Structure 1
């Protein structure tokens, strides 16, 4: 953080002058020196002091600020030091332009051109807090220059007929939405200075674009081609949020806010009630068929990213409000975050390396440090609750049983979808699903029990099994693969550094509600509240984690005029995306309450 603590030490010598009393007479003769006394006995050695606990100190540098109304999304750093990041939903009233000669009033995909971020020194200067209208309506950077690669609606001289960020109906004949919400980026290189930039477009329905890029001699990028990914083979997508790039080079997208898996219930029983707005949105995309809610809320892998992109939904990784998942270097272990109130952290372990279609789903159980509730110093021990194992085909068959439900099946007070009673029966080891009269649903009523609730109602299944369902806006989760591989497997991956510890980092945008209510496994103080913070999990053997530690937090203060709580402009305000650099520094993107949100570079220092 850019705070400097200046200590002034005032030192001086204390001179003791012994002044004798003199009389009017002559001075007398000095007396003889007395005999030295006997030396005293040495005192007993004191006991060693107790070692202090490890703490985190570090420096936040304001690397860039984004225009009014925008949040920082899609931060992605290549091995060559190229940084991509987006401006999600900037204000439509922004009219000022900068060196791009473009106004930032549409969703924008861009790059920090002319700088290798991996070569930035440790001591950095801040980009200023925007003050003028021009500064507030454009992108301000401390290093390099922001380059616009595209804004929603751009057609690239006809290369993208319907426009960037425009999502089509499943039959390709109707433009359903034109969204200004670009999120996750992933750059897939094809050769030196060339590759494909994949970008999520977060809306209902959702989308993903692919821009073919080539780097010019001046460090700027040229867009050679553009396309929107066809998701019709997987029934379309909903709210494509953040994501990651697998170790084998495929983008992972995340479906977030279509799912309504609340803390106290499961899928909204009124999903098929006439007039549901979310259903109406999905109907527009899917056409005449009524949308099955269990077909949305998953991790999507885009295979063949350099050829004809082919998306696949990984049903075996669970259904909930996915922010993103990150695959460890073992190509089997995946950590996944749920962005909601009362959310769960999940772990998926694939049956085979490089294949996410089959495996076992786990949910985290947290134990808070005893006697501590300050967010900056309070950690948690983590154990893992095994939920169940399945493959995509098995889960898809369960999903298909709900395909034919529509508004004609709606009955007030009953549900056509899995209920809380269904999940509780599974958790208690019942042999059969409850009947409708017992609170069950019409599809599975009275049938033999199976594990479908694990993968279709993952949050509630985890909660019923004793996992911690108390996270609030658990956001981007990420690692540095090189550091992780060197620390865990002993492979020399980082030049000039002996990496013995590596971490999975994640952001929490809001440390409030279920995290500060004084109940359950997470009971923090309200000091940080809506400003959020960043945590880390030390990687153990086998890419397991058993501990969560705080790294850096925001902090609220009371506005003297309005009395409202605000986040300090020099601290975090609702961190969203997190990227770990090769040297261990962090890039943190804000989705906060500031006038202008910030892209931070954080340098952690352990003492």
Structure 2
């Protein structure tokens, strides 16, 4: 297998050859005679972990082989780039942050404020045209609409033009982390790490907060525009494109779905049930069931309760779902953006804990969202507002579990009726009154301590959740349990779990720079199921765990992990997402965020290497369903 190197000097799409595959037309009606048969299989050759400086600066991508019956054909795969932060198109500069009026923002030195925090990018067919919405994990947030060309001979994609998406109609964007594509082909974006409305009350509070301050640039520093409850929501983006006309994108925040530190929300095949992951410390897992298929503006919200069935490894549990009530976005809009905007103190009464750590009569003790113990009481008539505007706190008060740590991406496998959920770390709230094995009350004091694992795993894990019908909830996709599918393995006992890994790689370089085993996952971030091929894709967001972040392919048939992409120093692999068939071709989108930004900043030469990449691995020939 030849080695694939994509360096900063290339910076554009690289040619792809698929030996022995027929090309497909560019029509939205795929010619089924040109699709691979259902029994075709794929095997990734894999790439080795980067060792040399050149490899650690590159994007490495794996080849693959497709087998149909007794015939095999090679797939020469590359990482293909749509755009890098700072690239200029006719109608936009990719990654440029803007204010509410659409004017470009600048840094203190006068240079353009260009974000290197590219995140999820979607592929959205519209008739004979193909679009992508790409979002940035920045403050203020940014989104771009790209129109793509699709080569009819080999499936290659390239950018025709790009436009900045106006977010003034949704009060601006905030930290757009991962996302998904709905079954009705809209882009479902997230707003992560919602500001704490209890402490960041005023614009002055926000201006003094290192994390929140950048958002005020959207309002040109006008602190009176600050409202913590206007951010922290799901945003649905719909692209409209008539033949030959300039495209438009409309955005809508879905208040009925609740307010959290959204990593992403994933809509199930019924077009009603939505799983929502909550990133951070002492967080939970949530499910929304819409009233109508394809309409996320009204429905009932549920929060997960962990009933532990195993305390070893990364644990296991049966799941209950706590009903947080029904709401519509229209009911909440006046509280959030209208004349009757609410503050935290309008929703809750608060009290200090007693000396024995109990709460005064009438107050509920919780430990949620990294805030430690809180004693709260919902004010009369504020239950609906609390359930949506302070979803995590309210869920904890209602008995749900808020002890998860760094909960990331989620995807669905219809073959097994399972969800797969990435947990970047299995620590802190997962333990019982400990932090990485050492005594600590930070994560359990005041809460129910539902999760009580015997150890911890800072390399993280991917969990599997069986789903089934639930007549009471009114969904055919209710998660019933949760257990490990694959877990990371600490490379040495010095990483803190006291267990020496017997198969640690021999290379001293691996040992020095990778605290999680080089041939296993480290801090899994986002996941996607390659429908048709029965492969789970696992992306990483790791610092010291792996020096170079990896995208893995987990083969359910062999139960083997194969490294299929690596990224440059200090990068994060964000939001791999699988598109099985767009006009006869499949695509695995992949974003390489903030090179040299999370670690190894000393390796940055200053020649543009730190510009983020948005692109894809592929194309893959599509399969018959």
Task: Compute the displacement of 1:183 (Å).
Answer: 0.9
Q: How does 1:370-449 map to 2 (within 5 A)?
A: 370=310, 372-375=311-314, 378-400=315-337, 418-419=347-348, 421=350, 448-449=381-382
After superposition, the C-alpha distances for 1:60-105 in whole angstroms (9 at most, x for unaligned) are xx9999xxxxxxxxxxxxxxxxxxxxxxxxxxxxxxx7478336xx
Is contact 2:56-2:548 (8 Å) kept? yes
Counterpart of 2:549? 597
Counterpart of 1:212? 147
Aligned partner of 1:514 among 403, 407, 429 = 429
Task: Compute the displacement of 1:504 (Å).
Answer: 1.3
Q: Using the alignment, how far apart are the partners of 1:426 and 1:220 within structure 2?
A: 65
Counterpart of 1:129? 49
Aligned partner of 1:536 among 464, 486, 494 = 464
Q: Using the alignment, how far apart are the partners of 1:184 and 1:240 within structure 2?
A: 8
Task: Compute the displacement of 1:604 (Å).
Answer: 2.2
- Structure number with bigger Rg: 1
**Cα distance change, pair 283–364 in 1 and its aligned pair in 2 (3 A):** same
CA-based RMSD of the aligned residues comes to 3.6
Q: Using the alignment, how far apart are the partners of 2:168 and 2:402 within structure 1?
A: 33
Residue 290 (1) aligns with residue 242 (2): no
Q: Using the alignment, how far apart are the partners of 2:308 and 2:16 within structure 1?
A: 43
Question: What stretches of structure 1 move > 6 A for 4+ residues in a row?
Answer: 62-65, 116-120, 401-406, 422-429, 444-447, 559-565
Counterpart of 2:517? 568
Structure 2 runs not aligned, ≥5 long: 22-34, 64-76, 107-112, 242-246, 353-358, 365-373, 434-443, 470-475, 495-507, 560-625
Is contact 1:579-1:586 (8 Å) kept? yes
**Cα distance change, pair 366–416 in 1 and its aligned pair in 2 (3 A):** closer
TM-score (structure 1 length as normaliser): 0.69
Counterpart of 2:249? 309
Is contact 2:303-2:321 (8 Å) kept? yes
Q: Using the alignment, how far apart are the partners of 2:351 and 2:235 within structure 1?
A: 27
Q: Using the alignment, how far apart are the partners of 2:339 and 2:492 within structure 1?
A: 50
Is contact 1:258-1:278 (8 Å) kept? no
Counterpart of 1:584? 534
Q: Using the alignment, how far apart are the partners of 1:124 and 1:159 within structure 2?
A: 38
Is contact 2:200-2:228 (8 Å) kept? no
Structure 1 runs not aligned, ≥5 long: 1-61, 66-96, 407-414, 430-438, 484-498
Aligned partner of 1:503 among 392, 396, 418 = 418
Task: Compute the displacement of 1:402 (Å).
Answer: 8.4
Q: Using the alignment, how far apart are the partners of 1:300 and 1:167 within structure 2?
A: 18
**Cα distance change, pair 514–184 in 1 and its aligned pair in 2 (3 A):** same
Counterpart of 1:138? 58
Q: Using the alignment, how far apart are the partners of 2:327 and 2:361 within structure 1?
A: 16
Counterpart of 1:179? 115
After superposition, the C-alpha distances for 1:552-591 in whole angstroms (9 at most, x for unaligned) are 0101132779999810010001111100111331011111
Task: Compute the displacement of 1:446 (Å).
Answer: 7.2
Task: Compute the displacement of 1:534 (Å).
Answer: 0.6
Q: How does 1:83-98 map to 2 (within 5 A)?
A: 98=6
After superposition, the C-alpha distances for 1:369-396 in whole angstroms (9 at most, x for unaligned) are 15x3222xx3210010001211111111
SS state at 2:271 partner: coil
Counting matched residue pairs gives 461
Residue 327 (1) aligns with residue 264 (2): no
SS state at 2:491 partner: strand
